[in-house]
Amino acid sequence: MKNVSFSGFDYNRFINLFPGTKPAEKIEETSMMTVFPYFSQGKIRIELSIPFRLQDKYCGMFREKLKSENVTLVINYNNHLPCTFVYTEDLEDRPSTAVMIVWKHFKNVLKKSNDIKFTMLGPSPFHAEFYVNSAPDAEFHLEYKKESGYDRVNILVDEKKEIERSRDFIEYTLREEAGLFYEVVKKRNETNQKTTELYSKIEKLSKENEGAISKIKNFIKFERLNTYDCLIELEKNQLSIDEFRMNFSEDIEIIELRTGKSHLLHKINQEVDKITKTPLISFKNILSTIKDRHNLTSTNRAVITSTIVGVLCGYAMTSLPAIFATIAKIIDSVLQRMP
């Protein structure tokens, strides 16, 4: 690292990004779903020099190294998850290579460090190539092109502006949306994890009645199945998704008011669709079927139990007179034989 600078931080302003939880107080408490420390504003600027020999190692067989050893990265904290902008000295054929090289370099050189740790480090789920070009008296313009593989984002700026001013404007325009994208991805991962856990429970419930022995065991046992717990968990997941959709719509409105328009909405909506298409309705139908089966089993058990008890009581009632008559005959026979 050639130079590191911090700016814009307010160390009294933490964001409780995760409902129902508190920000981690130390890095050991973090996980893939949390960030430490989490600030609502601030910027870390790092100038790096990554030798070509290391770039060759990081790129492997599938990418070409950068045209320069020098890169600058800026970590922006915002109202969502932090996002990082990586700048190269030259116009690269594949700018995303710089992002890949940077996170692999940090992972390599900091793996034994006790002073610097990243709670989140690549690869980035934002698969796009960003190109910045300039023209005389040009107004800021961003064009998003969906392509096979990595999408292409063309950014046009005024060549009369200083490079740093242009970079600041690009970061101001994109940091909230980029941070929102990463927050949506975090929510997608969280939803996928909960859905997988719920599916495993449903799969276990659906197999409880397979085979004659299992049917007899489930018929005899009186303990309540976990169907109701799964239904409650499913409803909680649905409420969480509904709340997310409402907050997401509000976030987009705020971004559009702040910057004039949403530039990365197409990319963000791709991840939102993956969340909203979670098959919770199908899960609910399966659980309802399992619950109905359980209720039917309980009803049948009650009917059979009451029938057995009735038969035993009836047998006892009809048998008692015969038993008493037999005892009376035995006593009478004994008395007659007595002198």
Report yes or no: 46 and 56 within 8 Å, Cβ to Cβ. Answer: no
User: How far apart (Å, rounded) are the C-alpha atoms in residues 166 and 160?
Assistant: 10
User: How far apart (Å, rounded) are the C-alpha atoms in residues 272 and 188?
Assistant: 8
Report yes or no: 191 and 180 within 8 Å, Cβ to Cβ. Answer: no
HSE-CB for 208 with a 13 A CA cutoff: 20
Average pLDDT for 137-143: 86
Average pLDDT for 289-318: 54
Average pLDDT for 111-139: 81
Inform me whether the pLDDT recorded for 253 exceeds 60: yes
Distance of CA 123 to the CA centre of its chain: 17
Inform me whether the pLDDT recorded for 70 exceeds 80: yes
DSSP states of 12-40 as a string?
Answer: T-B---STT----SSGGG--TT--SS-BS
The residues, any chain, with a CB within 8 Å of residue 11's CB and separated by 6 or more, are 39
Angle CA 215–218–224, to nearest 5:
150
Q: How far from each other are the two terminal CA atoms of the chain, in whole angstroms?
A: 123
User: How far apart (Å, rounded) are the C-alpha atoms in residues 202 and 220?
Assistant: 21
Query: Bridge partners of 7?
Result: 43
Structural domain boundaries in the chain = 3-124, 185-312
Inform me whether the pLDDT recorded for 323 exceeds 70: no
Under the banding of pLDDT at 50, 70 and 90, the label for residue 86 is very high
Higher pLDDT, 39 or 172: 172
Question: Which pLDDT does position 74 carry in this prediction?
Answer: 92
pLDDT of 260-280, one tens digit each? Answer: 888 888 888 888 888 888 777
Phi, then psi, of 217 in degrees rounded to 5: -60, -45
Q: What percent of the chain has pLDDT over 70?
A: 71
Question: Which pLDDT does position 243 carry in this prediction?
Answer: 86
Among 19, 24, 18, residue whose Cα is nearest residue 36: 24
Average pLDDT for 290-310: 54
Average pLDDT for 41-58: 91
When mean pLDDT is compared across 109-113, 230-234, 292-296, 299-303, the lowest value belongs to: 299-303
314: tokens are 């009836």
Average pLDDT for 96-125: 82
Please report which helix (H) or strand (E) contains residue 221, including its range: none
